[in-house]
Amino acid sequence: MRRDVDDDSKKREYCRIVDDDDDTFPQNRISVRYPQFVGSSYGLLCFTGFYLGEDDDCYNRYIIWNPSIRKSVTIDVPYYKHVVVGFGVCPKSLDPKIVRIKIFKVPYDYNLGDTHMVWRVKVFTLNGGVWRRPLTKLPSKWFNVYVLCQTPVVVNGLIYWPAYCTRDNMIVSFDLETEEFTKIHVPSKVARRGFEIFKLRESIGTVRSGSKGRYVVWLMDYVSKSFIKLYTFSTLQVGHWNWKVVGFRDNDQLIIEKNGEYLLKNGVDRYVNEQPELVAYEPNAKQFNHLGFYFGCYSFTSYTESLLLLDQR
């Protein structure tokens, strides 16, 4: 995969997937503007972006890619703004699925100007080749639940997104087999509004910020859906960082993108703009390790090779 910049399009970013060892199929070159990683499941990676068709209409393009066999499939639909997307492979049928959630406000009292949230959900199955409604209807009391546009987490046949309703934090899950949505309550001690979730120990992990540079890592119990405190850490032991969490390793190490550092000079904090760097926090040794990777990281995910898409037309 290569990521290029098109100077003729006001430096718009492109994601280009190319099979460099096969020059006989030029149609395998796929480009999208403003690429975004949707998720990984059963050895497949899913990206999304948009492109302009020959009729100058704008389309959303979804790319399902298997790097192991160098094969990809594209799905194009009319362009929509503010769409939450998820991707996963059904464990029972091994059918890749894309979930699109469009959330918008509609008035329910024109005189008072009151509104409530409405969900419009579409599911695309690669074997079916069409967009359709989910097999299970949404609960009637799901209005005002707002799903955050974060890279979702896929664990054990479920897609998870962080969400909130008024002051209540929650996690929304989508079952890839039954296509049923479920809400999981998240206590305020575990996450604040605008929180992120990550795959951790075949479940969901969150990182909660505290005072004096202290952070707490929580793990969701897969059965009870309650949260367990794993460990705490502080970035003050290595200076003030401008950083963000991008994921976890299989050994519970936290992967952090470090974008810069605040240094105290003459009593004043001075920001040092550095090249983005990936570091890992080792909870047992309680230390940060530099990984030697100097680039920005949007999302961190584990990958397992598979032969899915091998027979896909």
Asked if the structure places residue 265 within a domain, the reply is: no
On the question of pLDDT at 27 being above 90, the answer is no
Higher pLDDT: 118 or 21? It is 118
Domain membership of residue 121 (yes or no) is: no
Q: Which two tokens stand for residue 190?
A: 């575990």
* The pLDDT of residue 173 is above 70: yes
User: Which pLDDT score is estimated for 98?
Assistant: 96
Bigger pLDDT: 86 or 59? 86
Residue 254 included in any domain: no
Q: What is the pLDDT of residue 257?
A: 85
Interval 83-105 mean pLDDT: 92
Q: What is the pTM of this model?
A: 0.82
163 within 8 A of 147, measured Cβ to Cβ:
yes
Confidence of residue 197 (pLDDT cuts 50, 70, 90): very high
Specify the pLDDT at position 297: 66
Determine the pLDDT at residue 237: 60
What is the domain count for the chain? 1
User: Taking all residues of the chain, what is their mean pLDDT, rounded to a whole number?
Assistant: 80
User: Given this model, what pLDDT does residue 99 score?
Assistant: 96
Q: Which structural domain, as residue segments, surrounds residue 18?
A: 1-79
Closest to 247 measured CA to CA, from 141, 111, 153: 153
Q: How large is the average pLDDT for residues 94-99? A: 96
The pLDDT of residue 22 is 46
Quick check: 288 pLDDT over 80?
Answer: yes
Q: Is the pLDDT of residue 16 over 50?
A: no
Main-chain phi, psi angles of 208, to 5 degrees? -105, 125
pLDDT at position 273 is 61
- Order of strands across the sheet with 214-220? 198-200, 203-209, 214-220, 227-234
Query: If you average pLDDT over residues 285-312, what whole number do you get?
Result: 80
Q: How much is the average pLDDT of 2-23?
A: 41
Half-sphere exposure of 250 (CA within 13 A, CB side): 3
Cα distances (angstroms) measured from residue 164 to each of 56, 66, 119, 145, 193? 37, 33, 14, 6, 7
Residue 134 lies in a domain: no
In a domain, 22, yes or no: yes
Predicted confidence (pLDDT) at residue 140 exceeds the cutoff of 80: no
Q: By mean pLDDT, which of 60-69, 141-150, 237-246 is the weakest?
A: 237-246
**Is residue 192 assigned to a domain?**
no
Sign of the dihedral defined by the CA atoms of residues 164, 167, 170, 172, in that order: negative
Which one is predicted more confidently, 48 or 141?
48
pLDDT of residue 153: 94
Pick the more confident residue, 111 or 211.
Answer: 211
Q: With respect to residue 53, please indicate whether it lies within any of the assigned structural domains.
A: yes
**pLDDT of residue 312 exceeding 90:** no
Instruction: Check residue 157 and report its DSSP letter.
Output: T
Check whether 161 has a pLDDT greater than 60. yes
Residue 220 lies in a domain: no
Residue 156 has pLDDT above 60, yes or no: yes
Round the CA-based radius of gyration of the chain to a whole number and report it. 21
**What is the b/e burial string over 49-62, where b = at least 16 CB atoms within 10 angstroms of the residue's CB?**
bbbeeeeeeebbbb
**pLDDT tens-digit map of 239-262:** 556 778 888 988 888 988 887 665
Q: How far is CA 259 from the centre of its chain?
A: 20
In which band, very low, low, confident or very high, does the pLDDT at 24 lie, cut at 50, 70 and 90?
very low
